[in-house]
Amino acid sequence: MQNETLKTHRCRENCGACCISPSISSFIPGMPEGKPANTICINLSEDFLCKIFDNPDRPLVCSNFQFDNLICGNNREEAIKIMKSLE
């Protein structure tokens, strides 16, 4: 399942920048008030994948996020820097 998620969404292994850098103001399971910027989402696994990927309670902003090199850069550090600058 997790590897299938990686292939389907082209997420970079061991990245999770989109689950760390941006703020999320809507309800997230385990984070009812949302998530502040530069805070690790409680639903990010140790291998940097979303643990609630198929959960209907997953925020729409998360479901709508699309991998793109302009935002995700060439590596995790670059992705965090780019996303932080967009915040």
Report pLDDT for 7: 44
User: Rounded distance, CA 47 to CA 44, Å?
Assistant: 8
Domain membership of residue 44 as a residue range = 2-86
Query: Within 10 A of 10 (CB to CB), how many other CB atoms are there?
Result: 11
Global pTM?
0.79
How many separate domains does the chain show? 1
Does residue 22 register a pLDDT over 90?
Answer: yes
Report pLDDT for 56: 92
Does residue 58 register a pLDDT over 60?
Answer: yes
